[in-house]
Amino acid sequence: MKRYAFTLAEVLITLGIIGVVAAMTMPVLINNIKYHSYDNAKRKVLNSIGEAGKLLAIEGDLNGAADAEDFVKNRLAKKMSIAKFCDSSHLTDCGLPSKFLKTDGKTEMSMPTKMKGQTAARVFNYGSEETQAYADKNSFGFVTGNGYSVNLFYNGACIPDKSTAAMSTTTDSNGNSYKYYFIQDQMCFFAIYDMNGKGGPNVVGKDIGLVGVFYPNEETKAVAALPADYDWSSAGRGGAKSIRTYATAPKACDDQFGKDYRLPDRDEAALMAMAGNLLGITDNGYWSGSVVGSGLAWRQFFYGGSRLAYPVANGLYVRCVRR
């Protein structure tokens, strides 16, 4: 009676093929798992901090706190579970890293403790005097009930979003007029959160994300963003930045980063401008994915924080965010 079996050579060849396939697929699977974790963290932070901020706005308790510490301890803590508080001199006690990497994964920066001069040095040169005064105040840290570390920056002088009729008008060198306003005054608070404390990779757009609350009324909006690690570029990562019209800007996200990325909406773009230094953006105008009206979409300027109703046929820079 004949017995059939694999030879040693056949077994080794099969194992070798399995090893090659595993080596090719495992990094992709691991990255997908990591990105799903980052996305889940973004949603959880948005559901906790963001919803708490919206509730405070509905109750008329979002404005007027003395500073970030007063806001977190005496207002935000009433609407969400907070396990621990840390002032701006002891943020590491709340699991926040003292240093982390910007979205490029290479450039290191210290954890900021003020909006003006660090996190958004140029953005907060504008806005009302009251807004700028809050930008000079210290941030405040805490740990959420589900274990996320948060560094919060507060603007107790925030006001409702301006209607188009109330916007200012500017004229460029070609004689074209545009409606605009500064988004600083509409930002009530924003926060840098870390989903895994002092664990790695400590990179903005990955385990470190951004969440913000705008407009203290029934239209209050909470947003969170996980920005792509670099601007769209025809030369690829590290190449010269390129501009796109509004019609072709979404395709830049697809081409460079895949279907998981899109243009930020206007409030996500504003949040990114608030923390422009974390993204390595301190200048230039970027498209948002939000339309103003016929032939116009919102442009977010990172240098001064102005939001413009901008012609879609013109060209701007592109920074994508995860869906």
Provide φ and ψ at 294, rounded to 5°: -60, 120
Residue-range domain boundaries for the chain = 32-322
Q: What is the mean pLDDT of each run of 10 residues along the chain (323 residues)?
A: 64 70 54 67 85 90 95 97 97 95 91 74 81 93 94 94 74 76 91 87 91 86 91 70 92 88 95 89 91 90 90 93 90
pLDDT at position 304, please?
87
CA–CA gap between residue 41 and residue 45 (Å, rounded): 6
pLDDT value, residue 179: 78
| pLDDT given at position 29 | 47
Token pair of 97 as six digits:
């890293």
Per-residue confidence (pLDDT) for residue 1, from 0 to 100? 57
Q: What pLDDT was estimated at residue 237?
A: 60
Q: Are 127 and 185 in contact (CB under 8 A)?
A: yes
pLDDT at 117: 61
